[in-house]
Amino acid sequence: MNADKRTEEEEIKKILEEENVKKALLETGTSKKTFPSARREILLLVGYTALIIIVAGLLYFLLESGNLPISQAYLPIAKKLILGSVLITTVLFLNSLLRKILKRKIDDKASAYNFRSLINFVSFFLIVLIVISLVFSNWYATLVSFGVISLILGLALQNPLTSLFGWVYLLLRKPYEVGDRIKIGTVYGDVMNVGYFDTTLWEFRGDYLSGDHPSGRIIKYANSRIFSEYVVNYSWPLFPFIWNEVKFYVSYDSDFDFISLLVTDIAEKELGEAMMRRVKRLKTILADSMIQELEIKEKPSVIFTANNNTWIEVTVRFLVEPKNSGPTKSLLFTHIMKELKKHPQKVIFPNSNQ
């Protein structure tokens, strides 16, 4: 008993160490893997960068000393090109270095993807800024021109800019990440990619399906929709389950106690002890949060409801991982029907021979 308790405490401790669980707990009031050293790649990166900077420095020195056969008219342009190449090389070096560090330090693929996108965006912005500063010598005139151009582009590109701000919002607030199953508006799907301007989903359900199964279609929508649509996330790290139901009808003459016990036993066996243990651990974690009053039953429940068609509706409610919802529901229904039909005296179905 003590050994089982220690094991549960260790499992809970591991869950609490996960970064996305910590963040989710903060909203309610992992240990890193050790990757093999990428020293050789970093050394090569540093070497190439240092070589470019040394060569650029040498060229700049030769230009200053007048040892290169170049016209004085082209001397300022040459210096700007050398300076620009050094600055751009430095930006690209920092970009590659940060991406390699992220690859080693961040286990969560969604977080790593978001950081890579942010680093690439900042790098692109810095390179554009460097080019503009080198091309235009008069900063005041440049800023005025840039302000006018920005106003015109802002009006012309309002939707793309709103989508870009939507991407920034997605990075900061994280209503969903790559890999999450979500519903936005009337669209359901698994997030495949969060770009600067749009999000790509691998659709499930769709026009031709009623269950939680992939439709085979790809859906793209502008990130600006995040500001005007409700987002339903099925993949909350703190409680990565949803409730689902299996329903069927029986006669008023059926043995309800027998049905309840048999169906509950079948559901518990199909879902497995491992599932119920996970829910218990999460209930322990939630006990210290601001949502500790929420009712969470780790075991399946059976509900009987009187129906207008003179039959009794039996609902089996259970917890399941979102992406396993469809297969689990189908398997559970098949098994329940198979077992109940073995007891025709106690379980009477519609249109059955009595």
Residues 98-110: pLDDT tens digits?
777 766 666 656 5
pLDDT of residue 316: 92
| pLDDT of the residue at 319 | 85
- The model's confidence at residue 335, banded by pLDDT at 50, 70 and 90, is very high
- DSSP of 37-63: P-HHHHHHHHHHHHHHHHHHHHHHHHH
Band of pLDDT at residue 30, cut at 50, 70 and 90: very low
User: Is the CB of residue 53 less than 8 Å from the CB of residue 142?
Assistant: no
| Long-range residue pairs from 8-16, CB within 8 A, at least 24 positions apart, any chain | 8/277, 8/280, 8/281, 11/277, 11/281, 12/281, 12/284, 12/285, 15/281, 15/282, 15/285, 16/285
The sheet with strand 242-250 has its strands ordered as: 242-250, 312-320, 301-306
What's the pLDDT at 257? 92
Instruction: Look at residues 331, 69, 324 and name the one whose alpha carbon lies nearest to residue 316.
Output: 331
Between residues 245 and 135, the one the model is more confident about:
245
Residue with the larger pLDDT of the pair 287 and 143: 287
C-alpha 233/C-alpha 236 separation (Å) is 6
Cα distance between residue 105 and residue 112, in whole Å: 9
What pLDDT, on the 0 to 100 scale, is given for residue 339?
A: 92
Helix (H, G, I), strand (E, B) or coil at 14: helix
Least confident window among 67-71, 134-138, 167-171, 176-180? 134-138
What's the confidence (pLDDT) of residue 36?
45
pLDDT-derived band at 90 (thresholds 50, 70, 90) equals confident
pLDDT value of position 315: 93
Q: Which helix (H) or strand (E) holds 219?
A: strand 214-222
% the chain with pLDDT above 70:
72
Say what the pLDDT of residue 178 is: 86
324 has a pLDDT exceeding 90: no
Q: What phi, psi does 238 have (nearest 5°)?
A: -75, -25
Contact 119, 95 (CB under 8 A): yes
Mean pLDDT of 45-67: 75
Q: How far apart are CA 250 and CA 259, in angstroms?
A: 10
Residue 44 has pLDDT above 90, yes or no: no
Overall average pLDDT of the 206-233 stretch: 86
Instruction: Say whether pLDDT at 137 is over 60.
Output: no
Q: What are phi and psi of 304, to 5 degrees?
A: -105, 130
Determine the average pLDDT of the residues in 106-117.
Answer: 65
Distance CA 143, CA 161 (A): 20
How many Å separate Cα 122 from the centre of its chain? Answer: 21
Better-predicted residue by pLDDT, 187 or 54: 187
